[in-house]
Structure 1
Amino acid sequence: MGFIMDGLDAEDYDRKYSDRELVRRIIGYFKPQAPRMAAVAAAILFTSFLNTGIPIFISDSLDTLVARNSTTDDL
């Protein structure tokens, strides 16, 4: 039974890239998809704010409802 990492040693012909070169290359690959990625990021932010806002809205509504009912002597 072989090991997963067998044969993955550094070879003599491996190229050496700086981090800056690699980041530029990766950004170049993603540039055509920038509008789609921006839309996805905006959707994620929107749903995050919405999911955060719903419990706050419910809490404030319940606090208001309790405050109104506590001033009346219907209980």
Structure 2
Amino acid sequence: MPEEYRFDVFGRAIAVARKAEVWTVFDIGEEGKRRRADIQIPAFIAADELLQYLDDIFHESATPARPCVRVLPDGRWDLPPSTE
């Protein structure tokens, strides 16, 4: 079974799954459906480095309401409302 991690990337819900030493990234729609995202994560990135890696590559998308990438709680895809 692949490892899977969920993140709020500055208002974009994504899932990052690892299978056979390869990271695959999915966009998560409001209805919970997944589609492959055009995001590449190098295989050498460890699971505990994903949050920082995503924050580093998407930092231009930061806003006062969403200043950093966050881990989404298990079982939830809905993002908290933006205060912008």
Instruction: Give 1 or 2: higher strand fraction.
Output: 2
Instruction: Identify the structure with the greater helix proportion.
Output: 1
Q: Scaled by the length of structure 1, what TM-score is found?
A: 0.27
Normalised to the residue count of structure 2, the TM-score between the two structures is 0.25
